[in-house]
A = this chain, B = another copy of it.
């Protein structure tokens, strides 16, 4: 049995320049995404600029999301830390807020060996009662999760899924061959999602899904129905979104797109900046091109 499935958008963090979370904007975005059919919500991912937020800001984002979801879909906030102690603190806090799971990231500074990596993930997973998706992103974390580590983590009762944000879908197939009966596989927007679904993936977590929830759900449904050629055609057209977002700061892109769609999410957190007007035009064109899909 799978705990989670389908399209789970990474939420942006609507925020003022002074650091105040714009909770009404976030709540409306959550409500609209659920009405568009998404299967879960993941606050505090990269798209949510989690590394730029302090503890109190993070707490508000998670609480607002859970309240807005109101039990209609699972809410799975990101937990990311360098120290085990800090990760456990976050995980327990979000469980207390009634999160349905966590997306667990190991940040890194000094190199860790495999025993230390395993220690981190299992200590955090053992400290809570809700399921854990482990997340590996070689672009942002220095410590990669080896096959051996994944195999061992897949045997922990609370660790139920893996989200891999590399561009190497072949690596996911290798993981699937070794751990798929114990670990659900989720794609990221860096993958061709149809490919991941075809090798047995359960769904995907991605920032761009904020901007195209309806089309993303349609893609998911085509995959589930085994209508692979239609899925591949839709995927090909939706890929325009990935291409556009690979060019710019991810949070800036999605915030710009949401602003164009009427959500006042504000700029990314300084020293990041919002998109320039010519960049904004590219995002507008892409949104228009996928609106018909």
Chain A residues in the interface with B (C-beta under 8 A): 19, 46, 49, 51-52, 54, 82-86, 106-107, 109-112, 115-117, 119-120, 123, 140, 167-171, 173-174, 176-177, 190-192, 194-195, 198-199, 226, 228-229, 232, 235-236, 239-240, 242-243, 249-252, 268-273
CB closest chain-B residue, reference A115: B273
**Can you name 17 extra interface pairs (CB under 8 A) apart from A177-B240, A177-B243?**
A49-B109, A51-B109, A52-B82, A83-B269, A85-B270, A106-B271, A109-B140, A110-B250, A110-B268, A167-B171, A169-B170, A170-B239, A173-B192, A173-B239, A174-B239, A194-B198, A199-B235
Task: Enumerate chain B residues within 8 angstroms of A107, measured Cβ to Cβ.
Answer: 51
Task: Enumerate chain B residues within 8 angstroms of A117, measured Cβ to Cβ.
Answer: 271
CB closest chain-B residue, reference A147: B243
CA distance A49 to B108 in the complex (A): 11
* Cβ-defined partner of A116 (8 Å) among B111, B190, B272: B272
Closest 5 CB pairs of A and B: A195-B195, A120-B271, A167-B168, A116-B271, A228-B228
Residues of A contacting B: mostly = helix
CA distance A115 to B272 in the complex (A): 10
* Cβ-defined partner of A190 (8 Å) among B46, B170, B269: B170
Task: Enumerate chain B residues within 8 angstroms of A110, measured Cβ to Cβ.
Answer: 46, 249-252, 268, 272
Interface centre among A106, A168, A195, A252 (most CB of B within 10 A): A195
Task: Enumerate chain B residues within 8 angstroms of A236, measured Cβ to Cβ.
Answer: 173, 176-177, 199
CA distance A106 to B171 in the complex (A): 27
CA distance A228 to B225 in the complex (A): 13
* Cβ-defined partner of A192 (8 Å) among B46, B51, B120, B195: B195
Interface centre among A54, A123, A170, A190 (most CB of B within 10 A): A170
Interface centre among A19, A119, A169, A229 (most CB of B within 10 A): A169
Task: Enumerate chain B residues within 8 angstroms of A232, measured Cβ to Cβ.
Answer: 198-199
Instruction: Given the known inter-chain contacts A83-B52, A269-B85, A270-B83, please indicate yes or no for A243 contacting B169, CB distance below 8 A.
Output: no
CB distance from A223 to the nearest CB of B (A): 11
CA distance A82 to B83 in the complex (A): 18
CA distance A106 to B190 in the complex (A): 27
Task: Enumerate chain B residues within 8 angstroms of A86, measured Cβ to Cβ.
Answer: 52, 54
CA distance A85 to B269 in the complex (A): 9
CB closest chain-B residue, reference A117: B271
CA distance A116 to B252 in the complex (A): 13
CB closest chain-B residue, reference A237: B177
Instruction: Given the known inter-chain contacts A199-B232, A232-B198, please indicate yes or no for A119 contacting B270, CB distance below 8 A.
Output: yes
* Cβ-defined partner of A82 (8 Å) among B51, B239, B250: B51
CB closest chain-B residue, reference A51: B109
CB closest chain-B residue, reference A50: B109
